[in-house]
């Protein structure tokens, strides 16, 4: 049962481009810059609070990782609040 729950949690990875998250493993916060998929594996490019950029395919750990904020959906769709 625990293994089934772990698999289900991995499939509910909330990370999207522009989102802010906290890694329980690295004990640091980061922003997702890009997500790529290669042969069914999701690769994340992210910038941490120290400005360091890294690329990895680490799975979301629902027990240790946290969502800190998601980007505005309107901006993601190209809406500009300044009217430009």
User: Domain holding 70: CATH number?
Assistant: 2.30.30
Residue 84 placed within a domain: no
pLDDT of residue 71: 85
Select from 17, 61, 21 the least CA-distant residue to 36: 17
Residue-range definition of the domain harbouring residue 17: 2-76
46 — phi, psi (to 5°)?
A: -140, 155
Residues 63-76 have pLDDT tens digits of: 999 999 988 765 55
Whole-prediction pTM value? 0.71
Strand partners, 22: 29, 66
Closest Cα to residue 21, out of 13, 30, 34?
30
Residue range 53-58: mean pLDDT, rounded: 94
- 71 compared with 8, residue with greater pLDDT: 71
Q: List C-alpha distances in Å: 1 to 28, 60, 62.
A: 30, 19, 16
Domains held by the chain: number: 1
């Amino acid at each position: 049962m625990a293994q089934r729950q772990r698999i289900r949690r991995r499939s509910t990875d909330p990370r999207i481009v522009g989102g802010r998250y906290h890694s329980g493993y690295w004990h640091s916060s980061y922003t997702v810059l890009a997500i790529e998929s290669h042969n069914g594996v999701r690769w994340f490019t992210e910038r941490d609070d120290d400005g360091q950029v890294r690329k990895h395919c680490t799975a979301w750990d629902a027990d240790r990782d946290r969502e800190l904020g998601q980007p505005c959906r309107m901006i993601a769709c190209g809406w500009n609040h300044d009217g430009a």
